Amino acid sequence: MYDVIIIGGGPAGASAAIYTARGNLKTLVIDKSPNAGALAITHKIANYPGAPGEMTGKELLDIMRGQAQGFGAEFVQTTITSVDVEGETKYVFTADGMYEAKSVIVATGSKGRNRMLPGEENLLGRGVSTCATCDGAFFTGKTVAVIGDSEEALEEAQALSKFVEKIYFVIPRPELQGVEHMPELSGTELLYKTKALEVVGDKQVTGLKVRSASGAEEVLAVDGVFIFLSGSKPGTDFLQDQVPLDADGFMILDSSMQSAVPGVFGAGEVRRTPVKQAVVAAADGAIAAMAVDKYINKRAQLIPQYK
């Protein structure tokens, strides 16, 4: 039983972990892809307070995470499949098992997209998926496409390779973001500088229409399409209507980052922030952490950490 589970290890989640762990709260951070978030793939940071000079986003995150671990926070890398947060005990279900906590901070950032590919929405659950760990076994011996340009997409492709016969890895950029060394992927065809145009199919996915760097278009014959493209839609789908969200999927939070569900908090780009900056997300994480401390210890007010 943890005092708090923080879902997401970006600047909001890592900052929250620093504060909760330093406040002697048993803290677990669950992060699907530590090197795939918006900050992790940023090549140059020069305006973060207290970090003079230039560094990569990943270097800044490594410092934050190391600081949280130094105070006792635990970090695990796995995929969230669902949660049950309506009771006093919060249950977080992952690809590697279930975790329990007294409180949860959602800090998953903007992992979804506002704009879907043509055909994507109609075929969601009928060949279109955003979770290889969840759905990979359904495509045993079949051919699939993976669309993405991050470490997350690579990890999902690796998970799929255990089941499928062939993977078309559709990568919009010249290289994968946040990946220093490309591993060998058996049965995988890498399609760099290739844009996905449309998911093809009537009642089931039958293909993926793509355009190569040369401008040539073709339809790849596939049985499934796994999409891992970043965007500006908050990654809150796993909450499954258990926590109030607005029309665009942002968590509805008060000034202390608390939701209407006792023990459930949010931080960073899961809420409507006036600007999207790492320092803003980190500040959110600190506020959420102090609100968790208040909730766990039944305090009358927030107590900031000055030392």
What's residue 276's pLDDT?
Answer: 77
Give CATH 3.50.50.60 domain extents, the chain. 4-112+232-296, 128-228
CATH architecture for residues 4-112+232-296: 3-Layer(bba) Sandwich (3.50)
Q: pLDDT of 189-229, one tens digit each?
A: 999 999 999 999 999 999 999 999 999 999 999 999 999 88
What's residue 306's pLDDT?
Answer: 65
pTM (whole model) above 0.95: no
- Residues with pLDDT less than 50, the chain: none
Please give the angle made by the CA atoms of 167, 168 and 171, to the nearest 5 degrees: 130
Specify the amino acid at residue 30.
I
What's residue 112's pLDDT?
Answer: 60
Question: From the CB of residue 176, how many other CB atoms can be counted at a distance below 10 Å?
Answer: 23
What's residue 257's pLDDT?
Answer: 97
What's residue 243's pLDDT?
Answer: 96
CATH architecture for residues 128-228: 3-Layer(bba) Sandwich (3.50)
